[in-house]
A and B are shown apart, each in its own frame.
Chain A
Amino acid sequence: DADVTQTPRNRITKTGKRIMLECSQTKGHDRMYWYRQDPGLGLRLIYYSFDVKDINKGEISDGYSVSRQAQAKFSLSLESAIPNQTALYFCATSDFSLPGGRSYNEQFFGPGTRLTVL
């Protein structure tokens, strides 16, 4: 079974609709992230959370909100979807480790959610 799962995998919706993307992980990591990926722009951080009581805005948080329901679950909401939120969305997790090791702050990504807003 995948360590980081995302639901739904694909979603088509209309402008103005509220959408929730869900992420679950079995890796036991404290840190979770939401990114969006657009062609030519790379991954951009939307929100991140270092534990259940910690939520932080990333570089493009406007129009999005998140909820960390448990260590293993981190949801992303689009309150009123707009067409320029059409993108590939990734959830990721990481654990803290000392620098020098191969897995120093390695991020593990879910399979992605392809969202289209019409």
Chain B
Amino acid sequence: RKEVEQDPGPFNVPEGATVAFNCTYSNSASQSFFWYRQDCRKEPKLLMSVYSSGNEDGRFTAQLNRASQYISLLIRDSKLSDSATYLCVVKNTGGFKTIFGAGTRLFVKA
């Protein structure tokens, strides 16, 4: 079983739609959680950290459920520019072992 699992997609949604991605992790001792965004043939970039109480950044909302060991990302009012691969990232005890999920591809269409 992979340490971090994501649905690879692709998710094809129209502009303006709301889309949600989930990610599960296997290590209950994981401490820190992030969503990164990766555009085609580009480097990953941090989208947002995920806090225990949930957090929002504009149209993006991240949630953490430690009991069920999953993280979610909700994108509201999707834009064409949101088309990318979204990587779920988990940092384990000690803070130096960072596990990247394989990513979920999103296509937003006009």
Contacts and interface: CB of A to CB of B under 8 A. Distances in A.
Interface of A: 35, 40-45, 48, 50, 90, 99-100, 102-107, 109-112
Interface of B: 4, 8, 31-32, 34, 41-46, 48-49, 51, 87, 91, 95-98, 100-103
A112 B45 CA distance: 12
A112 B102 contact: no
Interface of A (DSSP majority class): loop
Contact of B8 (A35, A40, A99, A111): A40
A43 B44 contact: yes
Q: Which 4 A-B pairs have the closest CB atoms?
A: A109-B43, A42-B102, A43-B100, A42-B100
A113 B19 CA distance: 32
Contacts of A44: 100
Nearest to A112: B43
Given A41-B102, A42-B87, A42-B100, A109 B8 contact: no
Given A105-B91, A107-B46, A107-B98, 14 more contacts: A35-B100, A42-B4, A42-B87, A42-B101, A42-B103, A43-B44, A90-B44, A99-B31, A103-B46, A104-B32, A106-B49, A107-B44, A109-B44, A112-B42
B95 to A, nearest CB: 6
B102 A40 contact: yes
Given A50-B96, A109-B44, A102 B49 contact: yes
A26 B97 CA distance: 23
